[in-house]
Amino acid sequence: MQRHQSKIYALSLKMLGNRHDAEDVSQEVMLKIFHHIQSFSHQSKFTTWLYRIVSNRCLDELRVRKRSTQRFVPLEEEHDVALPDATGQSDDAMTLQKAMAALNSDERMLIHLRYTAGLSFDEIADVMELGLSAVKMRHSRCMTKMYAFLQ
């Protein structure tokens, strides 16, 4: 679990956008995995199974937020997060961060799974419970959106 804890937290933070919720979800996922490890069927990689659990829990949390009409607090507005100021980041990094913020939660998850977690399109399809062609199409749309934003 120690080996995967940072992966769980990183995906939770990327999807939820704030540390408090990411920490809560990460702990819940760790407990769920601990109690249900026997259900892992070895039909896919462990990390694929793990990312599916994390992404499903994060999506549940986002649905609850939407129903409760809570205001989404972007990462930059969180009081306990000290993000570097513009002088600490390159213009490219800031622009890329803004482009990612323009994507919806599913799109950000897809990009994170592909480029941060390094999953293949097949693995992403398993995690997101989509067909391979749907993942490739969504990836293409994400890249088009981001490219247009970066222009």
- The percentage of residues in the chain with a pLDDT greater than 70, rounded to a whole number, is 84
Confidence label for 80 from pLDDT (cuts 50, 70 and 90): very low
Does position 78 have pLDDT exceeding 60, yes or no? no
Does the pTM of the predicted model rise above 0.75? no
* pLDDT tens per residue, range 103-114: 888 888 898 888
Which of 35-39, 76-80, 141-145 bottoms out in mean pLDDT, i.e. has the lowest?
76-80
Q: What is the mean pLDDT of the chain?
A: 80
Question: Which burial class, exposed, middle or buried, applies to 42 when counting CB atoms under 10 A from its CB (0-12, 13-18, 19+)?
Answer: exposed
Helix, strand, or coil (residue 72): coil
Q: How far is 59 from 8, CA to CA, in rounded Å?
A: 14
The domains located in the chain, with CATH, are 2-150 (1.20.140.160)
The whole-number pLDDT of residue 24 equals 92
* Position 119 pLDDT exceeds 50: yes
